[in-house]
Amino acid sequence: MNKAVFLDRDGVINRELGHYCEKVEDFEILADVGKAIKVLKDAGFIVIVISNQGGIAKGLYTEADVNAMHNKLHDYLIEYGADIDDFYFCPHHDSISKCLCRKPNSLMIEKAMSVYDINPAQSYMIGDGKRDIEAAERAGIKGILIESNTGILEICNQIASE
């Protein structure tokens, strides 16, 4: 079985704007994200992004916009010799339609755990919201709550050294 670190996106990987990140131009990758993901990859972790993207359901942006942001992250990570193994995002919003994948539900994490044969006992979720930690707990992995836009390098160093 594999070990993994699941990362929330907005506020953990890119700057939380206080509103939906609708355009790739507004997708600002936080300092040291490349180094942090490289540390995890070098320690043998699968790294997967788990993100609610309810702005899609609200018609504020499209799945193509989200994929363009993820491509920007991919291009940035090349400089560090790192990459994200996969992206899971929920395009739904409770005000439009209920679903099972939107955090704090754990379906996105559970799907990734099945696809990548992930051992929950060796896996983590880093998020900046209560719903991230609830989703982690429901999936049986350790949740690590951080303050939005603070950086994850130190936490990733700690995880890699365990």
**Residues 31, 32, 35: CA angle, nearest 5 degrees:** 160
Domain range for 72 = 4-119+131-143
Residues 36 and 80: beta-carbon distance below 8 Å: no
Q: Does 161 map to a domain?
A: no
- Out of 40-54, 86-100, 104-118, pick the least confident: 86-100
| pLDDT over 70 percentage in the chain | 100
Q: Which two tokens stand for residue 24?
A: 């790739």
pLDDT for the residue numbered 55: 94
pLDDT tens string 14-35:
999 989 999 999 999 999 999 9
| Pairwise CA distance, residues 67 & 110, whole Å | 21
Total number of domains constituting the chain: 1
12 falls within a domain: yes
Domain annotation covers residue 150: no
Confidence (pLDDT) at 162: 86
Separation CA 95–CA 88 (nearest Å): 21
| 21 lies in some domain | yes
Distance in angstroms (rounded) separating the CA atoms of residues 64 and 80: 25
Indicate whether 24 belongs to any domain. yes
8 catalytic per annotation: yes
Q: Could you tell me if residue 124 is inside a domain?
A: no
CATH number of the domain enclosing 22:
3.40.50.1000
Whether 50 is covered by a domain: the verdict is yes
pTM, rounded to two decimals: 0.96
Q: Is residue 112 in some structural domain? A: yes
Q: What is the DSSP letter of 93?
A: -
